[in-house]
Structure 1
Amino acid sequence: YVVNYEFRDSVEVITEWVPKVKDAGADIIIALTHLGSWQDKEGNITGEAADLCAVDGVDAVISAHTHQSVSGLVNDKPLVQAYKYGRSFAKLTFIFDENNRLVSAEPFLDHLYARADTLKDDTNMLAIYRKIEEEVKPISEKVLGKTTVDLDHDRYAGPSLLGEWTCEIMKDAAGVQIGMTNGGGLRCPIPAGEITIGKLYEVMPFDNTLYTMKLSGADVKANIEHGILNEDIGWVQISGVRAVYNPEAEAGNRITSMVLEDGTPIEMDKYYTVVTNDFMFTGGDKYNFENSIDSLDTFIPIRDAMMEAVEKAGVISPVKQNWLSEEKVGKLYVVQVGDSLWEIAQKFGTTVEKILACNEIANSRLIRPGQEILIPTD
C-alpha cells in the first residue's frame, strides 16, 4: 500500500504550478512527465500528456510511459515521446526574440535504432554495463527448462502462443477460470530451445503480480473487447474462455460468442473467477475492472510463476488453443463417402488451402464421412 502520497489529476496540478513557476522567473514552461501519449497515422496526438497542452502557460510537453514514437503539435504546442529504452532521441527547439519572448517551438524525433551503425559506444557506460553483465551471468544464464516450439509474440499481430501460455500459467497459479494479460506486458517471443532466467526477464521485465477477482460476464466481455484490434495498446491475451469475434463489427461490439473451457456459455450477469496483472487491474492500458468483487493482489510476481512452471515441467510444448479467434464465415458442408478436399474445393469454387486454413485441418487426407467442414465464401 502507498502512504504519504496523493495522486491528483495532472491537468489540475500543472494548472496550479504554472503561475508559481512564472512568478519565479521562468521564460517558458516545459512539462517533463511520465504521462502517456499516442500518435495516429494522421499525426493526431492523444493521451494524458496531450491534455496538458490545453493548459495556459505550458509551452511544451515531454511524454513517456506508453513507449510510443510521438512528435507533433497539440494546440500549437510541441509534444514529444522518444519511443523506449533509448532507441530514439527527442529534441525540442525554441526560438526567442530579443526580449526573451518565445517566438516558435518545434519538435523533432531521431530514430537512433534506424541508424545504429552510425552510433559509437560510450566507453565509460559500456564498461559499467559489461561489469554488471558479468556479475549477473550466473543467475541470468541459469537454464530452467526448454521449449520444443517457438513461443511467438507480437502485441499488434494478434493473440499469440506466448500470450496463451502465459495466461494459462497465470490461471493455473491463481486457481481460477479465466486468465487475461495485456500483450504489451510481454516484451519478446521465446525461441525453441533452452529457457533461462534471463530470457524470462526479457519477456517480462516488469514485476507485475497476479491479481484475482470475481468478474461479471459483461465485464469479462468488455475487457476482452477492449483488447481486440486495438492499434494503441495491442491485443489482449486470454485463456480459459473461448471468444469469437467479428473484425468487421464496431469496436466494443465485436464478440459474437463466448464460452468457458468446458463449452458453458458465458452469462452476462453471472460472475466468474478471473486473474489478470496488477497493471491492468489498476487501469493500465485503459482496461476496467472497477466492477469486480473479492479482488485481491496476491503479490505473486507473474514472472516467478512462469519460472516455476518451466522448471517443474522441464520441457514444454505448448499448442495454440485459439482462445480468441476470428469468426469464420462460410457454408457448412457434411463430408460424404468418397469425398476428397480437392473435389469439395472444386465443387464450391475455392481452394484446398483455403478450406484447410478455415477449418484448421492439418492433413488434407484426414477427413471422414459425416465430418462438418466450413467452406469459405470469400
Structure 2
Amino acid sequence: MKPNRIMCMIPAGIAAGIFMFSSCHSGYSLASVEGNRIEVTAALDANPDSTAIAILTPYQKTVDSIMSPVIGQSARFMDRFRPESELSNLVADILRCSASAYIGRIADVGVTNMGGLRTALPEGDITYGNIYEITPFENTLCIVTMNGSLLRELFENIAAVHGEGLSGACLEISGDGKLLDATVAGKEIEDSKEYKVATLDYLAEGNDHMTAFAKVGDADKLLPEKATVRQLFLNYVSSSFFS
C-alpha cells in the first residue's frame, strides 16, 4: 500500500517537516522524517493572494490605527546585545523601578534577558507598535526575594552566557564566562542578606539558564496582576512623553 504523506510547512526559515506513515491493519507507524528550509522573503509578494488581502485589509486598518499613535520620543537608536546594551538595561531599569508600586520601594536588582527583546528601539518617534515589536510576549513582572548567596549564583548564571539586561548591579565577567566580581548598589553582596530582584515570570521559573531562580520557593515570588513587561514599558514611555 502506498504510504500516506502529511506535509507541515512552517515559514520564517523554520524547518518544514514531511512525515511519512505506513498504513497497516494495526494503525500508522512512522516510516521516515524529512525536512528542508523555506525562506520567507519579499519574493513571495510578487503574486499576492487577492482573496486573502481582501479578508485581511479591514483588520490591518484597525491594527494600524491602534499601533501607529506616537507615545514617546527616543533621543537615539537603542539595540540589544551582550554583554550589556542600553535597551536591555533600560528594560531592567523599568522592571526594577516598577517594583516600587508593589513592595513600597525600588527593587535592589532588575534582570531581563536578551531573548525577550525581539528588536531595537528606533531613534525619534516611539509608537505603540514599536513597544509591541520589542516585547511581543506576555511576560509579567515577578519580584523575587532571594539571599545574597543565591543572588551571586544568579550572577554566575548571567556571566556564563556573557551578560543579560541588568539594573542596580555591576558584574565583572571573564572572557570565558566566569564571574570575577559582583556588587549591588556599589556594595559587596552579603550572603545572608535578603535582596529583591525584579524580573520576568518566565525567568523566575529558572528558564533561559537562570537556574538560581528555580531554587527560590513560590512564597518568595510576587506576581502582581496586570503587570506585563510590555505594559510597564508603555507606561514608562508615555509618562515620560506626556508629563
Q: Determine the C-alpha separation between the residues in 1 that align with 2:138 and 2:179.
A: 31
Match status 1:220 vs 2:151: yes
| Deviation for aligned residue 1:307 | 1.3
Alignment-mate amino acid for residue 181 of structure 2: S
278, 284, 290: which one pairs with 2:207?
284
How far does the alpha carbon of each residue in 1:159-199 deviate from its partner, in whole angstroms, 9 at most, with x for none?
22110000001111112110001211111101111111111
In the TM superposition, what is the alpha-carbon distance from 1:94 to its structure 2 partner? 2.4
Alignment of 1:23-172 (within 5 A): 86-94=12-20, 96=22, 104-113=31-40, 115-118=41-44, 120-154=47-81, 157-172=82-97
Q: Which residue does the alignment assign to 1:264?
A: 187
Residues of 1 paired with 2:92 and 2:24: CA distance?
A: 60
- From 179, 186, 194, the equivalent of 1:255 is 179
1:97 and 1:103 in contact (8 A); partners too: no
How far apart are residue 150 of structure 1 and its match? 0.9
Between Structure 1 and Structure 2, whose CA radius of gyration is higher?
1
Deviations 1:220-272 (A, max 9, x none): 23233323453xxx8521111101111225xxxx11111112x1111233221
C-alpha separation between the residues in 2 aligned to 1:103 and 1:294? Answer: 46
Change (3 A) 1:110 1:213: same
Equivalent position to 2:114, from 176, 183, 187: 183
1:199 alignment partner AA: N
Alignment partner of 1:207 is 2:154: no
Instruction: Call closer, same or farther: CA 1:98–1:303 in 2, change over 3 Å.
Output: closer
Q: Give the letter aligned to residue 223 of structure 1.
A: L
**Aligned with residue 231 of structure 2, among 300, 304, 307:** 304
Alpha-carbon distance between aligned partners in 2 of 1:256 and 1:129, rounded to the nearest angstrom? 53
* Aligned residue pair count: 226
Query: Which residue does 1:244 correspond to in 2?
Result: 172
Contact residue 155 and residue 182 of structure 2 kept, 8 A: no
Residue 311 of structure 1: how far off its partner (Å): 1.6
Q: Which amino acid in the other structure matches residue 73 of structure 2?
A: K
Partner of 1:10: none
**Secondary structure of residue in 2 paired with 1:227:** helix
Give 2:128's aligned residue.
Answer: 197
Deviations 1:88-109 (A, max 9, x none): 3512242749999868413313
Distance 1:108 1:214, change over 3 A: same
Question: Normalization by structure 2: what TM-score?
Answer: 0.79
What RMSD in Å do the two structures reach over aligned CA positions?
Answer: 3.1
Contact map agreement 2:12 2:38 (CA 8 A) in 1: no
For 1:158 and 1:136, the matched residues in 2 are separated by 35
Q: Report if the CA contact (8 A) 2:21-2:30 is conserved.
A: yes
The percent of aligned pairs where both chains have the same amino acid is 23
Structure with the larger RCO, 1 or 2 (CA within 8 Å, 6+ apart):
2
TM-score normalized by the length of structure 1: 0.53
Secondary structure of the structure 2 residue equivalent to 1:112: coil
